[in-house]
Amino acid sequence: MKGKLAIVTGPTSGIGREIATQLAAQGAEVVLACRDVAKGQATLEEIARRTGAKGVSVMRVDVSSQASIREFAKAFRNTHSRLDVLVNNAGLNSRTRRQSTDGIELTFATNVLGYHLLTHELLEILKASAAARIVNVASTYAGNLDIDDLQFTKRPYNPVKAYQQSKACNRLLTWALARRLAGSGATANAMAPGLVQTGLYRETPVPVRLLLRMIGLFHGRSVEQGADTAVWLASSPDVQGVSGKFFELRKEIPCQFRNAELEEQLWAACDRLAGLAP
């Protein structure tokens, strides 16, 4: 990754921090795109201690805020001429139904629109950089997609279903993006880190959290294991030119949500909610 430039969102804890650390250890210049600059600076210092890397920087972005995403992307484009890797990792699991500053249900705003709008705002610089890669951190823990009620305004809000829906959306939007990137040289893939005990689950209802902890005792993965496939997708020559695939443990796995019509419906809905289309 020497000479490569990567952006990692949600890099101050858990899988995101490990992805950023491993990319920096491979020689990449890494931008820590985070909401809390102080935590970002602490992460930068930790990465420097662990790897000796000097090409790590911090830029502020709140991926639940469309204005913040646009400001971040503009600042990045004004100071960088290329982008080789974008890792969309920042995520939220909200116990109650909350709204973003844009009036969007917060889990959807963060986990789905955050990926979608940030990628859109950086797409031209990605396409202009030879063989750039977009890696979307998704999950096998996905489902409950209701294309007519993405924000839980018609059905009772359920944090588990809201999170599962967001992770299904991550996959659907990756397949739609990969079609749009065909022939450009840039690629987009999604990956599942597996069950890793991180701060993401701190707002999960207690019974679900206890169940996940029990499952994790037998089937859980370390943060390093959870980050590995994302780093591999961002850096390995083995997947050069590969696009529109879903991976876990460095192996392609089937996605039960593949449906071009539904993918396009979701893409159009996200464009509207992000102000990219009327």
What was the pLDDT predicted at 190? 98
What was the pLDDT predicted at 221? 74
Show the tokens assigned to 76.
């990045």
- pLDDT band at 205, cuts 50/70/90? low
What was the pLDDT predicted at 130? 86
Residue-averaged pLDDT of the chain: 93
The per-type count for the chain, helices as H runs and strands as E runs, is 9, 8
Rounded-to-10 torsion of CA 229, 240, 143, 212: 0
Show the tokens assigned to 198.
């991180």
**Cα 5 versus chain centre, distance:** 17
Residues 167, 179: Cα–Cα separation, whole Å: 19
Query: 115, 141, 163, 201: which is the annotated catalytic residue?
Result: 163
In order, the DSSP letters of 122-184 are HHHHHHHSTT-EEEEE--SS-----TT-TTSSSS---HHHHHHHHHHHHHHHHHHHHHHHTTS
- pLDDT band at 247, cuts 50/70/90? very high
On the question of pLDDT at 267 being above 60, the answer is yes
pLDDT digits (tens, 9 = 90+) for 27-81: 999 999 999 999 999 999 999 999 999 999 999 999 999 999 999 999 999 999 9
On the question of pLDDT at 8 being above 90, the answer is yes
What was the pLDDT predicted at 243? 98
On the question of pLDDT at 133 being above 80, the answer is yes
Cβ(19)–Cβ(230) below 8 Å: yes
Is 115 designated active site? no
pLDDT digits (tens, 9 = 90+) for 137-158: 999 999 999 999 999 999 999 9
What was the pLDDT predicted at 236? 98
> Measured on CA atoms in the order 180, 142, 144, 163, is the torsion positive or negative?
negative
pLDDT digits (tens, 9 = 90+) for 82-98: 999 999 999 999 999 99
What was the pLDDT predicted at 216? 52
> Among 26-30, 157-161, 178-182, 199-203, which is the least confidently predicted range?
199-203
Q: Which domains does the chain possess?
A: 5-273 (3.40.50.720)
- pLDDT band at 278, cuts 50/70/90? confident
> Which amino acid would we find at residue 193?
P
Backbone angles phi, psi at 10, to 5 degrees: 60, 50
What was the pLDDT predicted at 202? 57
